[in-house]
Amino acid sequence: MSYPYQIKSIEQYHQDYKKSVDDPDSFWGAIAQHFQWRKKWDKVLEWNFKEPNVKWFEGGKLNITENCIDRHLATMGEKPAIIWEPNDPNDRVRIVTYNRLHKRVCQVAQMLKNNGVQKGDRVCIYMGMVPELAYAVLGCARIGAIHSVIFGGFSVQSIKDRLEDTGAAFIITCDGAFRGGKDIPLKSVIDDALVGNNLVKKVIVYTRTRTPVSMIKGRDIWWEDEMANAEDQLEAKGPISFPAEEMDAEDPLFILYTSGSTGKPKGVVHTTAGYMIWTTYTFVNTFQYNPGDVYFCTADIGWITGHSYIVYGPLAAGATSLMFEGIPTYPDAGRFWDIIDRHKVNILYTAPTAIRSLMGFGLDPINGKDLSSLKVLGSVGEPINEEAWHWYDKNIGKSKCPIIDTWWQTETGGTMISTLANVTPARPSWATLPLPGVQPILVDENGKEVIQKDDQGLWKGNLCIKAPWPGMLRTTWGDHERCRTNYFAAYENLYFTGDGALKDADGNYRITGRVDDVLNVSGHRIGTAELENAINMHTGVVESAIVGYPHDIKGQGIYAYVIYQGHHGDDELRRQDILQTVTRIIGPIAKPDKIQFVTGLPKTRSGKIMRRILRKIAEGDVSNLGDITTLLDPGVVEEIIKGRI
């Protein structure tokens, strides 16, 4: 099998890029021909960014699981689709062939149908990183149910919010999950989240940790029993197969929640055909994947990276995707390198946070590990700093593997700006060139394209996209106006990414970070408003303000300024209480790294908190705070500087 749409040279990149901009209809129409359709589309693209309204391959009919599984069976049925590496290296590795994947996904589809799940129903999935999570995702897609995967680290309140927003009537979970040395009690978290919920009809529970769980008659059912029943039903009809539901190109595929600049997380909606084509096209081209390569993405399927580049993109390309249950430092800091050695991994895709963390352990965990199978290294989640880039290049790639530093977002569905391995030139800490179909533009605060270069000969501005690409979000679930105001209202006829960027004379882009009120912590977006709301729910907190600051491992740390009233314990105990509150409301991923108690916050006379000042103080840069005489109480700034942690 080869990929007729794979870019093989820098000359071809420039030709394809030009075609994609000049005539997107014929460019994407030609690529779409290489996928399996029930009915061909009537129109490739219709769009405006005003409403916004974007439709790709309108009128086309298909099912994404037929493209990810069924079409590979005749030629690659016994090829590994998923290699599952368990949390404990002494446990059994599972090799899931495309034939086995087909059987399991058909069983899940039958199981869901048996329990009343219909096309268009929402199914929330809260599981550990086991193959059954991939089966659940694909089983939903096979019957046309809309899946919404919730990361296993989120709290009861976060799950409640998502269940309520999706209106989900069905949940798939595990008794518990292994993550490093911890057992995470997933089912009990779901039980707490369901207190007062009258919508959820069924909770399907997969056994992983054998943690004792509560099972409520009529609502809670065991995955194993239901799958066995589904297998019997399907076998009675002949070879196990379940007919895939015919879906419209623009039918919703999944909802995935992401933090924004306002308190409530928003449910990003991706649809079927455009997302499938975009994830497959970007997977094949950025990594320069070749049939037979073993590809290892270290992300969790609870995030968009796992959706696009563990499940949908690789499987639609007929790839072998390695899925890892554990963490990079368990049982020791050599775990990634053990996995690469054992499975002869060819492509590694991980986060700068993981790289920086592993750098701290030195080279001992790498010594003795055979990494010679590696051909391509990838980075995702945030811009990779130069020191980490060079360490990754020298010690993991042995200076022979191209590094692709991919920039993209939950909302974009897949990679937008990235080096193409061995095709386009890499540059440390630069995402480099846009993928075909991606039309970036740098604008100033007024939405005017930046024309003037800075002192270094670079253009600097807010990063927007001026035309649609197949993998882009279509709406935010249940609130299209929120989609418009978040992404399309800041600048007329542009999609605003929320990021700032630099561009050089060769058209390379370097992402400089968020310019809105969103932090990027370990590659995960956390809205400052959402976090402030959580802190403010603590009984002793009067008000809080959150900013980011440079963090050696996470890239960006969370610095909280808190006005506290009350006499409960000392400052350290208060900090622990606030951290517990944040963990309860959002989850441990959102815990601030530093909490400074203050008597006031720098505010304008209209009451706006000057986070710019707080950010500079958190960074330790107090030499140029600007004019503070216009603040309501300028004296509070000096007090905050003195108390900086």
Question: Terminal CA-to-CA distance of the chain, rounded, Å?
Answer: 57
Report whether 15 contacts 30 (CB < 8 A): no
Report pLDDT for 606.
60
CA distance 603 to 620: 20
Average pLDDT, the chain: 94
In this prediction, residues 565-581 reach a mean pLDDT of 88
In this prediction, residues 23-49 reach a mean pLDDT of 98
CA distance 260 to 410: 11
pLDDT digits (tens, 9 = 90+) for 387-414: 899 999 999 999 999 999 999 999 999 9
In this prediction, residues 617-635 reach a mean pLDDT of 82
Whether 263 shows a pLDDT value over 70: the answer reads no
204 in a structural domain: yes
Whether 457 shows a pLDDT value over 90: the answer reads yes
Number of domains comprising the chain: 3
In this prediction, residues 466-488 reach a mean pLDDT of 97
The two three-digit tokens of residue 145, written as one number: 């149910």
Task: Say how far residue 326 (Cα) sits from the centre of its chain.
Answer: 17
Are residue 188 and residue 128 in the same domain, yes or no? yes
Report pLDDT for 539.
87
pLDDT digits (tens, 9 = 90+) for 38-75: 999 999 999 999 999 999 999 999 999 999 999 999 99
Whether 563 shows a pLDDT value over 70: the answer reads yes
> Rg of the chain's alpha carbons, rounded to an integer?
24
Strand ordering across the sheet containing 541-551? 541-551, 555-564, 594-598
CATH code, 554: 3.30.300.30
CA distance 495 to 466: 6
183 in a structural domain: yes
By three-state DSSP, how is residue 173 classified? strand
CA distances from 369 to 292, 336, 339, 342, 355 (A): 22, 10, 9, 9, 17
CA distances from 635 to 433, 546, 599, 603 (A): 47, 20, 11, 11
Helix 98-114 vs helix 223-235: crossing angle, to nearest 10: 100
395 in a structural domain: yes
Are residue 196 and residue 158 in the same domain, yes or no? yes
Are residue 290 and residue 173 in the same domain, yes or no? no
Are residue 59 and residue 123 in the same domain, yes or no? no
In this prediction, residues 499-512 reach a mean pLDDT of 94
Domain interval for residue 619: 518-642
5 in a structural domain: no
Q: How confident is the model at residue 261 (pLDDT cuts 50, 70, 90)?
A: low
Are residue 258 and residue 173 in the same domain, yes or no? no
Residue 52, preceding peptide bond in cis (omega within 30° of 0): yes
74 in a structural domain: no
Report pLDDT for 455.
84
Report pLDDT for 380.
94
Whether 527 shows a pLDDT value over 90: the answer reads no
344 in a structural domain: yes
More confident residue, 445 or 326: 326
Are residue 195 and residue 237 in the same domain, yes or no? yes
In this prediction, residues 559-588 reach a mean pLDDT of 90
Are residue 331 and residue 474 in the same domain, yes or no? yes
Compute φ and ψ for 348, nearest 5 degrees.
-115, 130
Provide the whole-model pTM. Answer: 0.88
Residues recorded for the chain: 645
CATH code, 114: 3.40.50.980
Report pLDDT for 218.
97
In this prediction, residues 451-472 reach a mean pLDDT of 95
Whether 157 shows a pLDDT value over 80: the answer reads yes
57 in a structural domain: yes
Going 77 to 81 to 84 to 90, the CA torsion angle's sign is positive
Are residue 295 and residue 322 in the same domain, yes or no? yes
342 in a structural domain: yes
Q: Which of 514, 544, 565 is the last residue of a domain?
A: 514
Nearest to 330 by CA among 211, 183, 209: 183
Report pLDDT for 524.
82
Are residue 355 and residue 305 in the same domain, yes or no? yes
CATH code, 329: 3.40.50.12780
CA distance 562 to 47: 45
Strand ordering across the sheet containing 459-465? 440-443, 459-465, 495-503, 509-514
Report pLDDT for 1.
61
Q: Which of 498, 514, 530 is the last residue of a domain?
A: 514
Could you count the other beta carbons within 10 Å of the beta carbon of residue 606?
A: 6
In this prediction, residues 320-334 reach a mean pLDDT of 97
Are residue 500 and residue 546 in the same domain, yes or no? no
CA distance 188 to 276: 34
Type of residue numbered 67 = N
Are residue 192 and residue 116 in the same domain, yes or no? yes
Report the run of H or E that residue 512 belongs to, with start and end: strand 509-514
Q: Which of 483, 514, 545 is the last residue of a domain?
A: 514
Residue 356, exposed/middle/buried by CB under 10 A (0-12, 13-18, 19+)? Answer: buried
In this prediction, residues 121-141 reach a mean pLDDT of 98
Are residue 359 and residue 498 in the same domain, yes or no? yes
Q: Which residues of 389-403 are buried (b: 16+ CB within 10 A; e: fewer)?
A: bebbbebbbeeebbb
